[in-house]
Structure 1
Amino acid sequence: MPQHTPPQPICGNCDGFPTVAITTGTRHRDGSRVTVPATCRGCNGTGHTAPAAALAKAGR
């Protein structure tokens, strides 16, 4: 039976689409477009964010 990992929260910056290809507007000789890959800075290309740390009660 496969082991399932718990679901992780989706990145709010990229909505789960961490890597995209952006066209530059120019074309190759064969007619295809030149693209540049871009990766989300918020999640470093994973599409998920780390869960927020739990607050610890400190002081009196």
Structure 2
Amino acid sequence: MPQHAKTARVCRDCDGFAAVAITTGALHRDGTRATLRVVCPACKGTGHAVSAAGLAHAGR
């Protein structure tokens, strides 16, 4: 049985996991890990692909 019907296209670069937290290995003074939040540059953190109609074509 399918889980959910997907109406929006998932970003092919990040597979829908648009934001990740990467640990740096360093610790803060309170003992928590220092992390960096990085978003997918292709979908800009949305997790969805931009349709071809939404793109502006420039050039010849």
Compute the TM-score of the two structures, normalised by the length of structure 2.
Answer: 0.69
The Cα shift of 1:35 comes to: 0.4
Q: Which runs of 5+ in 2 are unaligned?
A: 1-5, 54-60
Considering fraction of residues, name the structure with more helix. 2
Give the distance between the partners of 1:50 and 1:38, measured in 2 at CA: 19
Q: Aligned-residue CA RMSD in angstroms?
A: 1.5
Greater than 6 Å deviation, 4+ residue runs: none
Give the number of equivalent residue pairs: 48
How big is the shift at 1:39?
Answer: 0.6
What is the percentage of aligned positions where both structures have the same residue? Answer: 52
| Structure 1 unpaired stretches of 5+ | 1-5, 54-60
Q: How does 1:1-60 map to 2 (within 5 A)?
A: 7-53=7-53
Cα offset, 1:52, TM superposition: 3.4
